[in-house]
Amino acid sequence: MEPNRAAVNVIRQNLKSLEIETRTQVLQGRATALLGAIRADIVFLDPPYDLAAEYETALTKLGAQPPKLVIAQHSVRLKLAESYGALRQTRVLRQGDNCLSFYSPE
């Protein structure tokens, strides 16, 4: 999910060059508005770091009908909750100024 039309086009071109476009879905719009419209086994979240509320909204929506795995990339300065609905944090991997927080259903 990407709100910028030009970025969506670049993403689609990249997927096509990798010959994996038939196995992917690229949606244009705000992730928090579109999360209810997708079903996926794995969801990777990487909102702009200055939009901390986006993490809360997205993870709460995903926790209502959780996929098998959610990975949220975020700043080390942002502490995400240990749970969102049925999602529970299983691991946090710090990489410099970034973290990857892993969530799975209970």
CATH numbers and ranges of domains, the chain:
1-37 (no CATH), 39-106 (3.40.50.150)
Q: What angle do CA 72, 65, 43 make, to 5 degrees?
A: 30
Across residues 53-71, what is the average pLDDT?
Answer: 92
The model's pTM is: 0.80
Q: Lowest-confidence range among 25-29, 31-35, 65-69, 91-95?
A: 31-35
Q: What are the φ and ψ backbone dihedral angles of 73, each rounded to 5 degrees?
A: -90, 130
Task: Report the chain's mean pLDDT, rounded to a whole number.
Answer: 90
Q: Is the pLDDT of residue 47 over 80?
A: no
Q: What number is the average pLDDT over the span 77-104?
A: 95
DSSP-derived 3-state class of residue 79: coil
